[in-house]
Amino acid sequence: MLIDVSYPYTDFMAVYPNNPKFSIQRVQDLEKGDSVNVSLITIGSHTGTHIDAPSHFISGGKTIDQIPLEDMSGTAKVLDLQGNEEITEKLLSRYDIDSGDIIILKTDNSKTFHGDVILKDYVTLNYEAAEYLASKEARMVCIDYMTIERPRAKRIAGKSIHNILLSKEIPIVEMLDLTHVEEGIYQLYCFPVNIAGADGAPARVVLFKDI
C-alpha cells in the first residue's frame, strides 16, 4: 500500500514567513486559442513538502543535487509522539533507532496543521533530542510541520536544530501530512526536484507498507 504524505500545492497553502508564496499562472491557454496549455509556476525551495539540503544552513554544504538518492529513501520508522509538548531525548530513547534509519516524527501538529494555517505554537525537537538523532546517525529526519526549528519564543541564541542535523549531513524533510499514518516501520521514497545548486527542493514523499 502506497501512502502519499506530500501536501498538494494550492493558492491557500501555508508558507513559512518571508518565504516565496506558491503561484501558478497559465501562460498559454487552449481556451484562448493557443495550441497547448502551459503554466508558469513560482515556488520557493522550502515551500510545501520539501527537503532541506545541508547548504540550507551550512556554508559550503551539499546542495540538493549532491545528495545521493539512497540517502533520501529507505527504511523509515514513524514514531507516534502525540501528546507531548516537545520531543526529548528521553522520548526518543524508548525507540529502537539504528544507524541509517529514516526517522519520521508524528506529533500533535498532525491534529492542528492541515497545510493551510501557520501555527503560533507547534511541536518539534529540543536541542538534546536533535543531538541524539545525530549521534544515532539517522539517515534523514522528517516532521509534520513547515519547519523542524523550534518556535521563536523557545529558541536559544547560538543553537539550531537545522545546524545540528545538517552539519552531520542528515537531510530534513518538512511539512509531511501524517494525519492517517500509524506508528510503525515503512519504506520511504522521497524524490526532490533535481535543481543544481539548490539549498532545498519540493519533493514527492511516499510511504510503502506491505500489508
Write out pLDDT tens, residues 66-76: 999 999 999 99
CA 107 – CA 122 distance, rounded (Å): 9
192, three cell numbers: 526532490
Average pLDDT over residues 119-135: 97
Across the chain, what does the average pLDDT equal?
A: 97
Cα Rg of the chain, angstroms: 17
- Which helix (H) or strand (E) segment is 128 a member of? helix 127-135
Q: What is the pLDDT of residue 144?
A: 98
Which domains are assigned to the chain? 2-9+45-208 (3.50.30.50)
Backbone dihedral region for residue 158 (phi beyond 0: left; psi -120 to 50: alpha; all else: beta): left
CB-hemisphere CA count at 13 Å for 117?
10
Average pLDDT over residues 128-148: 98
State whether the Cα torsion 80-86-92-97 is positive or negative: positive
36, three cell numbers: 497547448
Give 1's pLDDT tier (boundaries 50, 70, 90): confident
CA 88 – CA 143 distance, rounded (Å): 14
Q: Report strand pairing: 38-42 vs 23-28.
A: antiparallel
Q: What is the pLDDT of residue 210?
A: 73
Q: What is the pLDDT of residue 211?
A: 61
State whether the Cα torsion 130-133-139-141 is positive or negative: negative
**Which tens digits make up the pLDDT trace of 77-93?**
999 999 999 999 999 99
Give 9's pLDDT tier (boundaries 50, 70, 90): very high
Give 187's pLDDT tier (boundaries 50, 70, 90): very high
**Which tens digits make up the pLDDT trace of 20-68?**
999 999 999 999 999 999 999 999 999 999 999 999 999 999 999 999 9
Report the residue count for the chain. 211
